[in-house]
Amino acid sequence: MDSQTLIDLEILESSEGKNNHLFHLLNHTITQGGEDVLKQKIVQPFLPAQVIRQTQQTIQQCMPLIQQWHQIIQERNIVMAELYLQSNIQISNLEKDAYHQWKAKLFKWQHPDYFHYLHSNIVSLQNLLKDVEQFLTNHPIATSLSTILIQQQIQHILNNILSPNSAGLAKRSAFATLYVDMLMRRKVTDNIKNILEWIYETDATMSMAHACTLYQLHFPEIREESFWEIKNLRHLFVKEPIMNDAVLTQQNIMFVTGPNMAGKTTYLKAIAHSILLAHLGMGIPATAGKISVVKDLFSFIGITDSISKGESYFQAEINRIQLLAGCLQKNKSVAVIIDEPFKGTNIKDALDCTILFTQLALQWSQSFFIIATHLTEIYATLQDNKKIAFYYFETKQEADKLIFDYKCKRGLSEQRLGLAIFKQTGLPELMQPKKNN
């Protein structure tokens, strides 16, 4: 996904508030490293079908273990481990003899703050490794990093370094502390880094599992052939959502028509979020789903002109389509979300451009194009093409009142309620010059 798609679909940020974006809903990580891993997964979620299915299994394995994970992983212990590995305190070269016992005591006496820092971090790391080792023994979950290898590395550190010196560490022995520090920072630093990396990866996975449980997400069937069927889809940002289906079983282009405020853009974004979540290996906000694997997600929603570049709105649209063409050429299979294309030009040109764009898009049979438009005139030209599906939202008008049901139906809407909405807001009265009293 490019930066414009991330903005359009409110993946990492939103103009409506710092917490009103998808990443905020999914982020239940404990560690900063876990949060970083989760963010990277969300930005680049597109993996082969088999890897997605394996991730689904891992997330489902993690769903009953969220509470246990939160009990053993504390952000403070992780930070202490990271800072310990980065410490610039000079490592003491120690042998097990009387001279080096005296040398260690001298260090403790001369540098009490350094000694306390090393001892507390080592004890904290020891407790963390014990907890993780116990967790893995009871719950051997499968992550992208080898759990067996991580377990072996933890056991090596515990059995060969920490356990033989545990009595001395418990007594705050100067020699035991500095001797363990020497072994840890000289011989097993890479192993500790691997263990922390596993913790971050697992923390991100646990966060996704937590979100699946919290929002009652359904794991879709991942298909490699072009096939797309989502039942009772809802938008995660909407508190009381209206559920709709999204089906493209024999088509790769969907047009969504309907008046302003009827729900088209919300529907498009709900589809886009489901595509992204499915490719993360997560559940989707629906009761059932079959989703085809794609290699990228590209949106065409928040286009703006640029005064500094001397770029009109229509030119910005053309530039965006050029980027889409490059994305299609590179990835072949792309999910494309477009909201009201070519509105930067007159209706006749917009209609002609939309029809031409559709004819070109039909050549990309492995890609999906979801397009919201007010240009219902396209139906006369495109209605007989079996690769195109038409859906619509409608709004009922009773007297001066508009009633929105936000239900998506098969077919076409030719409702034009812009004038009614304009009048409903009371703008005609507000725009009237006030008479002098």
User: What pLDDT is attached to residue 395?
Assistant: 78
Q: What are phi and psi of 68, to 5 degrees?
A: -60, -40
Question: 137-141, 261-265, 290-294, 422-426: which range is least confident on average?
Answer: 422-426
Categorize the per-residue pLDDT at 53 as very low, low, confident or very high, splitting at 50, 70 and 90: very high
User: What pLDDT is attached to residue 85?
Assistant: 92
Q: Is the pLDDT assigned to residue 429 strictly greater than 80?
A: no
User: What pLDDT is attached to residue 428?
Assistant: 59
Q: What confidence tens digit (pLDDT) does each residue in 333-350 have?
A: 999 999 998 888 888 998
The helix/strand/coil state of 340 is: coil
Q: Is the pLDDT assigned to residue 223 strictly greater than 80?
A: yes
* Alpha-helical regions (H) of 215-346: 264-280, 313-331
> Across 16-20, 387-391, 423-427, which has the greatest mean pLDDT?
387-391
Contact 375/351 with Cβ under 8 angstroms? yes
Q: Is the pLDDT assigned to residue 418 strictly greater than 70?
A: no
What average pLDDT does the structure give for the chain? 89
Q: What confidence tens digit (pLDDT) does each residue in 312-327 have?
A: 878 888 889 999 999 9
Return the exposure string of 369-382: e unless at least 16 CB atoms fall within 10 Å of the residue's CB, then b: bbbbbbbbbbbeeb
Query: Residue for token digits 């005609």?
Result: 428
Report the alpha-carbon distance of residue 15 to residue 9 in Å, rounded: 11
Report the alpha-carbon distance of residue 189 to residue 86 in Å, rounded: 10
Domain ranges of the chain: 31-214, 221-424
Between 309 and 217, residue with greater pLDDT: 217
Q: What confidence tens digit (pLDDT) does each residue in 61-78 have?
A: 999 999 999 999 988 999
169's tokens: 């560490």
Q: Is the pLDDT assigned to residue 437 strictly greater than 70?
A: no
User: What pLDDT is attached to residue 196?
Assistant: 95
Element (H, E) at 194: helix 189-214
Q: Is the pLDDT assigned to residue 111 strictly greater than 90?
A: yes
DSSP 93: -
Checking DSSP bridges between strand 228-233 and strand 244-248, what pairing results, if any? antiparallel
Q: What confidence tens digit (pLDDT) does each residue in 181-205 have?
A: 999 999 999 999 999 999 999 999 9
Find the mean pLDDT for residues 267-287. 96
Q: Is the pLDDT assigned to residue 396 strictly greater than 70?
A: yes
∠55-59-61 over CA atoms, to 5°?
115
Q: Please state which of the four CATH numbers 3.40.250.10, 3.30.9.10, 3.40.50.720, 3.40.50.300 is assigned to the domain occupying 221-424.
A: 3.40.50.300
User: What pLDDT is attached to residue 259?
Assistant: 79
DSSP 368: E
Q: Is the pLDDT assigned to residue 307 strictly greater than 60?
A: no
327 burial level (CB within 10 Å; 0-12, 13-18, 19+):
buried
Categorize the per-residue pLDDT at 421 as very low, low, confident or very high, splitting at 50, 70 and 90: low
Q: Is the pLDDT assigned to residue 138 strictly greater than 70?
A: yes
Q: Is the pLDDT assigned to residue 311 strictly greater than 70?
A: no
233's tokens: 């889809």
- For CA atoms 288, 292, 295, 301, give the dihedral sign: negative
DSSP 243: P
Q: Is the pLDDT assigned to residue 432 strictly greater than 80?
A: no
Categorize the per-residue pLDDT at 414 as very low, low, confident or very high, splitting at 50, 70 and 90: low
Q: What confidence tens digit (pLDDT) does each residue in 76-92 have?
A: 999 999 999 999 999 99
Q: What confidence tens digit (pLDDT) does each residue in 358-369 have?
A: 999 999 999 999
Checking DSSP bridges between strand 401-410 and strand 288-292, what pairing results, if any? unpaired
User: What pLDDT is attached to residue 227?
Assistant: 85
Residue partners of 243: CB distance under 8 A and separation at least 6: 232, 233, 234, 286, 287
Contact 387/252 with Cβ under 8 angstroms? yes
Query: Which long-range contacts link 6-11 to residues 24+ away (Cβ below 8 Å)?
Result: 6/43, 7/302, 8/299, 8/300, 8/301, 8/302, 8/337, 9/269, 9/272, 9/273, 9/276, 9/297, 9/299, 9/301, 9/337, 10/237, 10/269, 11/42, 11/43, 11/276
Return the exposure string of 337-348: e unless at least 16 CB atoms fall within 10 Å of the residue's CB, then b: bbbbbbebbeee
Contact 26/39 with Cβ under 8 angstroms? no
166's tokens: 């545990």
User: What pLDDT is attached to residue 431?
Assistant: 60
- 38: how many CB neighbours lie within 10 A of its CB? 25
In this prediction the pTM is: 0.88
